[in-house]
Amino acid sequence: MPGFEIFGEEEKKEILEVLDTGVLFRYEFPEQRKGVYKVRTFEEKFAAYCGVKCGQAVTSGTAALKVAMAALGIGPGDEVITQGFTFVATWEAILEIGAIPVFAEVDETLNLDPADLEKKITAETKLIIPVHMMGAPARIEEIKAIGDKHGIPVLEDTAQAAGASLNGRRLGSFGACGTFSFDPVKTMTTGEGGMIVTNDEKLMRDMSEYHDHGHDHAVNPGGRGGEGRSFIGSNYRMMELQGAIGLAQLAKLDGIVASQQQNKKAMKALVARIPGVTFRTILDEKGDNASFLAFFLPDKDKAQKVKTALAAGGAGAICFAENTWHYYPKWEHLLAGATLAKSGWPFVEPGGKKRVVYDAQALPKSAAIMDRLLVYPVPIKLSQERLGQIAAAVEKAVAALS
Residues marked active site are found at 186
CA 103 to chain centre: 16
- What are the DSSP E strand ranges found in 155-214? 155-157, 165-166, 169-170, 177-181, 194-198
CB neighbour list of residue 353: distance below 8 Å, 6 or more residues apart: none
- What are the DSSP E strand ranges found in 21-99? 54-58, 79-83
- Quote the CA–CA distance of 39 and 42 in Å, as a whole number: 5
Across 340-349, b (16+ Cβ under 10 Å) vs e yields eeeebebbbe
- Quote the CA–CA distance of 104 and 111 in Å, as a whole number: 10
- Quote the CA–CA distance of 99 and 40 in Å, as a whole number: 31
Coil, strand or helix: which one is 54? strand
* C-alpha torsion 318→323→327→330, nearest 10: 160
